[in-house]
Every structure is written in C-alpha cells, then in structure tokens.
Chains A and B, each alone.
Chain A
C-alpha cells in the first residue's frame, strides 16, 4: 500500500502570509494527487487535482506542484476564509488514500 504523509500537522499563520503544505508518498505516484479543504462541520471541497490543476471556481492563490514522491500545496496570500484543514489524496488500484491532514490556524 502507498502511504501519504503530510507535514506539518498544524500551522499558524497570519492573513497575507504565503503558506506551503507538503505531502510525501511512500513511492512514486506520478502526479496522481488531489488536495481538499475542509472547514469544521462541512464536507471537504476539491481544490486541485493531477497535482497542479486548479478546480473550477477555486481562487488562483491556491497552487500545487511536485513530482515523484513529493508534492506541495501553496496558498500565496492567506485570506480569512482559508483557515481550515487541508488533505492530500492519492488513488491507486481502487484504493483512495488520504494524508492525515494539516490544520491551518490563525496566528
């Protein structure tokens, strides 16, 4: 099984900051990676897929990059509505695996 490890598990930042969250796979996943945002009591929301493709309607301050085993989600200038928990997700052989999540809190 492919394991997905996110870091950090939590992060404090201020409005306007640039923030990067990392997701590392236990083996090469060839850009088969999606990112989601989840706010308390709500369903997750798709942000990016294919490692770097922005879902329609998602603000351009969100971006994704990476290759092989290492991937990043970057928020270029944090807005108040961005404080949430973020998850990466990989698909392989009918198994969908999520990272453990990164909680982004206001400093």
Chain B
C-alpha cells in the first residue's frame, strides 16, 4: 500500500526557519514525482512545486519561486519543504502528494497534511 506520512504540526514565529517532511513507503520512492500543495485557511489548493527524487529535478510554481526550497533524501525515502524566513502569510496546511504521470498527470496518493502556523 502506497503511503505518504508527513511530519507533525508546527508553530513558529515570523523570521524563523522551518523544514517539514513527507516519507513515502509501499512504492519505489525514486520513480515518482512528489508535489507539495498549499491550502491556506478556508481556501483552495495550490501546487507549490514538485521534485523527482530519482535525479532531484525540482520545479517551482512561479508564485513560490525563491520563497521555499524543495528537496529529497532518497536513503530515507523522504521529501522536504523548507523556509529560511517564515512570514505570517505562510500559515497554511501543506500536503505532499505522489504524482502519477502518463497521458495526463494527477495526484494519486496524498499525505495527511502538516499544519504550519506562523504567529508572534
């Protein structure tokens, strides 16, 4: 069974750094793209960016370029989303999702979400 398990909720102050994680199991981690998806309170879904763990190819939604860093550590089958300087506007639920590629791309498995709260 494919599973993506994310790290727990975080409460941070503006200006702090943060790295959240997404551990994959039940499939070959290096063979599938992983996406990070943001959902701000009461809002819809936005794709932050994607990474292919096989070669670390990483692509960002232009709206998030320079604001976050996506990485992966294949030996522990884990993808990461990190911020160097958090802002209050980063407060959101963040999901990771596995991407199924082919004639069309879609997210076939999702993590449970990590709630990030940034407040002073």
Taking a contact as CB atoms closer than 8 A, the residue among A32, A33, A43 that contacts B113 in the complex is A43
The answer to whether A50 and B104 touch across the interface, beta carbons within 8 angstroms, is: yes
CA–CA, A94 and B104, complex, Å: 11
Verify B110–A87 contact, CB threshold 8 A.
Answer: no
Using a Cβ cutoff of 8 Å, how many contacts connect chains A and B? 61
Task: Indicate if A65 sits at the interface (CB-CB under 8 A).
Answer: no
Contact with A along B76-120 (1 / 0, CB 8 A): 000000000000000000010100100111111011110000000
Interface size on B, residues (CB 8 A): 21
Q: Are B47 and A44 in contact, CB atoms less than 8 angstroms apart? A: no
Q: Is the interface of B mostly helix, strand, loop or mixed?
A: strand
- Which residues of chain B have C-beta atoms less than 8 A from A94's C-beta? 50, 59
Show 30 residue pairs from A and B whose CB-CB distance is below 8 angstroms, ordered by the A residue. A31-B104, A32-B104, A34-B107, A36-B45, A36-B107, A42-B112, A43-B97, A43-B110, A43-B112, A44-B45, A44-B95, A44-B97, A44-B107, A45-B110, A46-B106, A46-B108, A49-B108, A50-B103, A50-B104, A87-B44, A89-B45, A89-B107, A91-B105, A94-B59, A96-B47, A98-B44, A98-B45, A98-B46, A100-B44, A101-B45
Q: Which of B's residues lie within 8 Å of A, judged by CB?
A: 35, 44-47, 50, 59, 61, 95, 97, 100, 103-108, 110-113
Footprint of B on A, CB under 8 Å? 31-34, 36, 38, 42-46, 49-50, 55, 87, 89, 91, 94-101
